[in-house]
Amino acid sequence: MAVGIVVVSHSPALARAVVDLALEMTPAGGPPVAIAAGGPGGVTGTDAMAVSEAIGRVGSPDGVLVLMDLGSAVLSAEMALEFLDDPDVPVRLTSAPFVEGLLAAVVTAAGGASLDAVEREARGALAPKATHLGTHDEPAEPAAPAPAATVTRDLTLINPVGMHARPAAMLVSALGGLDAAVTVANLRTGRPAATLSGTTALLTLDGRLGDTLRFGASGPDADEALTRIADLVGRGFDEMDLTAAAPAAAPAPEEAVPGDVHPAAHAGGPTAPGGGAPLGVSPGRGVGTVVHMPDPVTEPAPGPAVPDDQRAAEADRIDRSASAVADELRGRASRVDAEAKAILEANALIAEDRGVLDDARARVTGQGLAAAPAVWQAFTAIAEMFAAAGGVIAGRVADVQDVRNRVVAHLQGLPAPGVPVRTEPFVLVARDLAPADTALLDPAVCRALVTSEGGPTSHAAILARSLGLPAVVGAPAALDIPEGTLLLVDGGTGELVVDPSPELVAQVLAAPKAPEFDGDGVLADGTHVKLKANIGGTADAQRAAGAHAQGVGLFRTEFLFLDRGTPPTLDEQVAAYRGVLEAFPHDDVVIRTLDAGADKPLAFVGPQHEDNPALGVRGLRTSWRWPQVLADQLDAIAAAAAATGTRPWVMAPMVSTVAEAADFVALAKDRGIATAGVMVETPSAALLADDLLKVVDFISLGTNDLTQYTMAADRLSGELAALNDPWQPAVLRLLAQVGAAGRRAGVPVGVCGEAAGDPLLAVVLVGLGVTSLSMAPGLLGAVAAQLAALDRAACESAAHAALAAVDPAGARAAVRAALGL
Amino acid sequence: MAQDTVDLAALIAWLDSFRGYVTENRAYLTELDSAIGDADHGINMTRGMDAVFAKIKEAQDGGTPFATIDDLFKAVGMTMVTSVGGASGPLYGTFFLRMGRTAGTAETLDAAGLGAALRAGLDGVVARGKAEAGDKTMFDAMSPALDAYDAAVAGGADPAAAAQAASAAADAGRDATTPLVARKGRASYLGERSAGHLDPGATSTALLFQALAETLAA
């Protein structure tokens, strides 16, 4: 065992981020760390009971160190001590700084240090920063004087960045378990040797590239300690080698690969369905100056040879551009989550790789190539070598290409590829966006999105809706609007207004924004309707908790399974589910088991051709062919539930018969998962609702698929968009049947399709008997505000009005009339 | 009709009245908190008291009503701790837990007994929050309230009259927080800018004593 660490914070997102940051320091395995963050329902706050449970999860006779952020975190942690009943677990609250202290505590605890030593390192963790900034006071508790070394060794730092946090952590970890006292001094600064009891001593050394450090050691394992240190220093802490710094999993490319887009889209390229009129796909109005998505970088022409006397200067441009790109990547790394950060930092190292840059320089000085083509060729050669190597290394090809494109763009004075970074409000105009691009959009400054291509189900449209960002697709003319022009976008009507009048702009800016959701979905008469979030992973879950969602109504687990050659291991799955459950420690989280098949094939079971995949082996049906995949997933969910002390619900997708539902529920219950249900996505399931409700604990209406199957209209087809409307009378009547069945049985009925996030339709759904609505977190505020204005009777009369209509437009109008809107 | 003793039903009525007040003043408390804190006091207290009542109702409907004052306040305190979220959770939670511990297995309290329980609650708040007079916290309403209560009891007042005195003193203490500079909690990071605003914690504490006075007078 090791000393356990508990992190108490007002914010689950803050706690996860700081723990991720700390655990990066101990890639070989950190100490047990538990988080107690957020108040009830994921609100900002703390909960003493949760703190005491977290202490219980990581407690051992080695002790537990508790780090807190501020205010109630301290009070709750103190209170938690009163609830603890195991006298054999020493627990200590520390005033150590939250971020630096946690890093120091994790690294020191990972090395097997005592509670005293872990706390001392944590409390002293500000010293490196204070030394760096020149504000260092002598520590209140000076470390014990260094024992006389019996052996010493002088070692020179060869890694470019010198002694920073990661190498320090590697060194401390390497010494774990050895019986040796180690000291270290930097011969350049001449400061006295410090005892290496944690990372602090190393980080205050100011060890730079080329500095010689004198390590001394005494004790039985002194020689072994110095051998291990020499090995790490000699390897440059693995920072000399491109591939060693790579994350284990192949990251997704950050931008569209050249060739994915259609350069001819300006004139007559693919347009919106229905004849080319721009289509509003995400309601709301936004205004800002136009920023165009940069064109992808293509191979620069070799051009005429550079004259001999200019080659050295041309070659130097390469280093300057490469280092600017590395700086930019590191700057972005500081603003993203841990996973993206690791990728960006690894890419910065690629941009600084001496071997590749020297190769590029040689092509300039030797062959007279211009800098841009030289860089292109040098990086492309590396990319080809990586691709030929296969495996994990091949997974880095996209990263090498990304860095290459960035350096080339910088050399050519072009904007960096990818989503532009702006601090002022803007409207992004692009041909289309890849998922990786859209993930980088910041709704605080990007006020609207316009694409020349794409339809209502394009990535851009779905993401815009989830961010609550007004969006229009199928508007090729927008590509010709000059950068910097003021543009007003109406994502409801599809209207684009170039240079709008000041009055119009004022009107848009004055329009009330959807109020923030306060975490309590309630009708005017006090009836509670839980408003939850649809998510696809931990980052989503944290965003949803930040938006005060009352739980997760749909956790899509596909991301774990798609695009990979082997199924995810149990541990991988448990870790992924834990991340989500920890974001909602007090609320329901509904985990949907794998919804593969159809348009989401499972690569690891091999290609499975189906003529009609939407009607094929998908959803729960895949478990007929591969039962172990479902069994493993339920095992992992049960393990994650046990590890987090939460009680997630599980549900199966694409169920058609009562027997399927009963089998699924039995599988879940066999594993101790107490609450199991199914999605109602097929007309069959909707019509059988009364019978289904006898065997399940809850049902969740997937309105997107229910609409597509009821209307026999492919939801991916833009041409059939009018049919794929949940306001269609047949769909509403099926929803009514299911709602009524739920009421009769007293069983919760949720909706997790896009219908739940339409404020008007949400009213109808509640009137039909739905008890919870799950949606993109950005939509919670608008739906909550609409519901809060109405009582149950009003919702029911809206539902009656909708059911009496003969078409979607009539239904919407009737509901508006019934509500007096 | 004022009584010489306070029983479990009266204490539950007090809590119910307090819940009504924080619910009614939810937006106001949150607004006060938005000036100098994190804009959640009204929301947090409402959530906490709703949870308290769900707990009380569960006990009553489940056929296991609280037998002693300690049982009641232990449930109330623990529920506050786990359901409020902000610093008010541990503070009010400790207040009720200590009240319960002091009242022990009693089913009724006389004026002095209620005073002793309230005083123990205040001591708990001080131990938990380390607040002193003038720090611009709930202490600034609660401490004068209990001094007034004790003085009234010493003069022969019944619980209702003593609670009336406590409520008036709590209101005065609350109002006196306006010019103060916060020295505890998140408001303390605002320094001088925290002056000129009522303290939300002192405000909810004044509501607590107002609820007590009105309940016992009824």
Question: What pLDDT, in 10s, does the model give residues A218-258?
Answer: 888 888 899 889 888 888 887 764 333 333 333 333 333 23
A71 to B94: CB separation less than 8 angstroms, yes or no: no
Of A47, A70, A520, Cβ closest to residue B186: A70
Q: Are strands A486-490 and A471-473 parallel, antiparallel or unpaired?
A: unpaired
pLDDT of B158 strictly over 90: yes
A49 to B91: CB separation less than 8 angstroms, yes or no: no
> What tokens were used for A415?
């904007």
**DSSP E strands, A737-791:** 749-751, 772-775
Burial class (CB in 10 A: 0-12, 13-18, 19+), A177: exposed
Interval B48-77 mean pLDDT: 91
The H or E element that residue A414 is part of is none
Whose CA is closest to A127, among A137, A142, A115?
Answer: A137
Tell me how close the Cα of B85 comes to any Cα of chain A, in angstroms. 4
Tell me how close the Cα of A222 comes to any Cα of chain B, in angstroms. 48
- Chain A residues touching B93 at Cβ < 8 A: 48, 79
Which of A10, A49, A69, A75 is the best substitution to test chain B (most B C-beta atoms within 10 A)?
A: A75
Backbone angles phi, psi at A597, to 5 degrees: 95, -175
State the maximum Cα–Cα separation within chain B, in Å, rounded to a whole number.
Answer: 53
- Whether A459 sits among the annotated catalytic residues: the reply is yes
A48 to B82: CB separation less than 8 angstroms, yes or no: yes
Residue partners of B70: CB distance under 8 A and separation at least 6: B100, B101, B103, B104, B105, B106
The pLDDT score that the predictor gives to residue A246 is 32
Interval A611-617 mean pLDDT: 83
**DSSP E strands, A334-477:** 426-430, 446-451, 471-473
CB atoms within 10 A of CB A450: 27
Whether the model pTM is above 0.80: no
Which of B45, B47, B74, B91 is the best substitution to test chain A (most A C-beta atoms within 10 A)?
A: B47
Q: Is residue A548 helix, strand or coil?
A: coil
The pLDDT score that the predictor gives to residue A114 is 86
Of the candidate ranges A65-69, A269-273, A373-377, the one whose mean pLDDT is the lowest: A269-273
Residue carrying the six token digits 């309290």 = B109
**Using one digit for the tens of pLDDT, what is the confidence trace for A21-59?**
888 877 767 888 999 998 877 778 888 888 998 998 888
**Using one digit for the tens of pLDDT, what is the confidence trace for B20-39?**
999 999 999 988 888 887 78
B85 to A47: CB separation less than 8 angstroms, yes or no: yes
- Whether A752 sits among the annotated catalytic residues: the reply is yes
> What tokens were used for A337?
């989550």
- Chain B residues touching A41 at Cβ < 8 A: 47
Q: What is the mean pLDDT of chain B?
A: 91
A76 to B128: CB separation less than 8 angstroms, yes or no: no
B85 to A71: CB separation less than 8 angstroms, yes or no: no
pLDDT of A563 strictly over 80: no
The pLDDT score that the predictor gives to residue A603 is 64
Q: What is the ipTM of this complex?
A: 0.79
Q: Closest residue of A to B43, CA-based?
A: A518
Of B40, B51, B87, Cβ closest to residue A75: B87
Ranked by mean pLDDT, the top range of A85-94, A719-728, B67-76 is B67-76
> What tokens were used for A605?
């079971």
Cα distance between residue B26 and residue A520, in whole Å:
13
Exactly one of A164, A459, A586, A800 is catalytic; name it: A459
Exactly one of A292, A446, A548, A752 is catalytic; name it: A752
Of B43, B94, B185, Cβ closest to residue A71: B185
B89 to A49: CB separation less than 8 angstroms, yes or no: no
Residue carrying the six token digits 């603890």 = A84
B89 to A50: CB separation less than 8 angstroms, yes or no: no
Cα distance between residue A135 and residue A145, in whole Å:
23
Residue partners of B16: CB distance under 8 A and separation at least 6: B53
The pLDDT score that the predictor gives to residue A218 is 87
CB B205 within 8 A of CB B21: no
CB A140 within 8 A of CB A34: no
Interval B185-196 mean pLDDT: 78
CB A438 within 8 A of CB A459: yes
pLDDT of A749 strictly over 60: yes
Of A39, A519, A520, Cβ closest to residue B86: A39
Q: In what order do the strands lie in the sheet with A91-94?
A: A33-37, A4-9, A64-68, A91-94
The pLDDT score that the predictor gives to residue A254 is 32
Of residues A179 and A393, the one with the higher pLDDT is: A179
B89 to A70: CB separation less than 8 angstroms, yes or no: no
How many pairs of residues across A and B have Cβ atoms under 8 Å apart? 75
Cα distance between residue A653 and residue A562, in whole Å:
16
Residue partners of A483: CB distance under 8 A and separation at least 6: A289, A290, A291, A292
Cα distance between residue A687 and residue A681, in whole Å:
11
Cα distance between residue A678 and residue A681, in whole Å:
9
The H or E element that residue A649 is part of is strand A649-652
Cα distance between residue A652 and residue A803, in whole Å:
28
Cα distance between residue A673 and residue A648, in whole Å:
8
B40 to A75: CB separation less than 8 angstroms, yes or no: no
Cα distance between residue A624 and residue A630, in whole Å:
9
Residue partners of A656: CB distance under 8 A and separation at least 6: A682, A684, A685
Bridge partners (DSSP) of residue A328 are: none
The pLDDT score that the predictor gives to residue A242 is 36
**Using one digit for the tens of pLDDT, what is the confidence trace for A766-795?**
999 999 999 988 789 889 999 999 999 999
Q: HEC profile for chain B?
A: CCCCEEEHHHHHHHHHHHHHHHHHCHHHHHHHHHHHCCCCHHHHHHHHHHHHHHHHHHHHHCCCCCCCHHHHHHHHHHHHHHHCCCCHHHHHHHHHHHHHHHHCCCCEEEHHHHHHHHHHHHHHHHHHHCCCCCCCCCHHHHHHHHHHHHHHHHCCCCHHHHHHHHHHHHHHHHHCCCCCCCCCCHHHHHHHHHCCCCCHHHHHHHHHHHHHHHHHHC
Helix axes A338-351, A311-333, angle to 10 degrees: 170
Cα distance between residue A709 and residue A726, in whole Å:
11
The pLDDT score that the predictor gives to residue A657 is 96
- Chain A residues touching B89 at Cβ < 8 A: 39, 45-48, 72, 75-76
A40 to B185: CB separation less than 8 angstroms, yes or no: no
**DSSP E strands, A123-206:** 151-156, 181-186, 194-195
The pLDDT score that the predictor gives to residue A513 is 66
Cα of first residue to Cα of last residue in chain B, in angstroms, is: 6
pLDDT of A332 strictly over 90: no
- Chain B residues touching A48 at Cβ < 8 A: 81-82, 89-90, 93
B87 to A71: CB separation less than 8 angstroms, yes or no: yes
- Chain A residues touching B91 at Cβ < 8 A: 75
**Over pLDDT 90: what percentage of chain B?**
68
A39 to B129: CB separation less than 8 angstroms, yes or no: no
Which of B41, B45, B82 is the best substitution to test chain A (most A C-beta atoms within 10 A)?
A: B82
A76 to B90: CB separation less than 8 angstroms, yes or no: yes
Of A43, A48, A519, Cβ closest to residue B81: A48
Interval A271-293 mean pLDDT: 72
The HSE-up count of residue A112 (CA atoms within 13 Å, CB side) is 7
Of the candidate ranges A278-282, A651-655, B174-178, the one whose mean pLDDT is the lowest: A278-282
B85 to A43: CB separation less than 8 angstroms, yes or no: yes
CB atoms within 10 A of CB A155: 17
Bridge partners (DSSP) of residue A65 are: A5, A92
DSSP assignment letter at A186: E
> What tokens were used for B30?
């949150």
Of the candidate ranges A258-272, A277-291, A529-543, A592-606, the one whose mean pLDDT is the lowest: A258-272
Q: HEC profile for A61-129?
A: CCCEEEEECCCHHHHHHHHHHHHCCCCCCCEEEECCCHHHHHHHHHHHHHCCCCHHHHHHHHHCCCHHH
- Chain A residues touching B81 at Cβ < 8 A: 47-49, 76, 79
Interface of A with B (CB under 8 A): 38-41, 43-50, 70-72, 75-76, 78-79, 518-520
Q: Is residue A5 helix, strand or coil?
A: strand
- Chain B residues touching A45 at Cβ < 8 A: 40, 44, 84-86, 89
State the maximum Cα–Cα separation within chain A, in Å, rounded to a whole number.
Answer: 92
Burial class (CB in 10 A: 0-12, 13-18, 19+), A743: middle
At residue A262 the predicted structure's pLDDT band, cuts being 50, 70 and 90, is: very low
At residue B103 the predicted structure's pLDDT band, cuts being 50, 70 and 90, is: very high
Helix axes A627-644, A570-583, angle to 10 degrees: 50
- Chain B residues touching A75 at Cβ < 8 A: 87, 89-91, 128-129
Q: Is residue A553 helix, strand or coil?
A: strand
Q: Closest residue of B to A83, CA-based?
A: B78
Interval B3-18 mean pLDDT: 93
> What tokens were used for A566?
């082997």
CB A678 within 8 A of CB A664: yes
Q: Closest residue of A to B95, CA-based?
A: A79
pLDDT of A276 strictly over 60: no
Cα distance between residue B188 and residue B135, in whole Å:
9
Of A43, A44, A75, Cβ closest to residue B90: A75
Whose CA is closest to A160, among A96, A100, A88, A209?
Answer: A209
DSSP assignment letter at A714: -
B86 to A70: CB separation less than 8 angstroms, yes or no: no
- Chain A residues touching B128 at Cβ < 8 A: 75, 78-79
pLDDT of A141 strictly over 70: no
Of B43, B86, B93, Cβ closest to residue A79: B93
B82 to A71: CB separation less than 8 angstroms, yes or no: no
- Chain A residues touching B40 at Cβ < 8 A: 43-45
Distances (CA, A) of A84 to A50, A53, A87, A690: 12, 9, 8, 47
Of A38, A47, A520, Cβ closest to residue B82: A47
- Chain B residues touching A72 at Cβ < 8 A: 85-90
**Over pLDDT 70: what percentage of chain A?**
86
Of B43, B90, B94, Cβ closest to residue A72: B90
> What tokens were used for A134?
């020149």
b (16+ CB within 10 A) / e for A663-688: bbbebbeebebebbbbbbbbbebbeb
Residue carrying the six token digits 């796909």 = A281
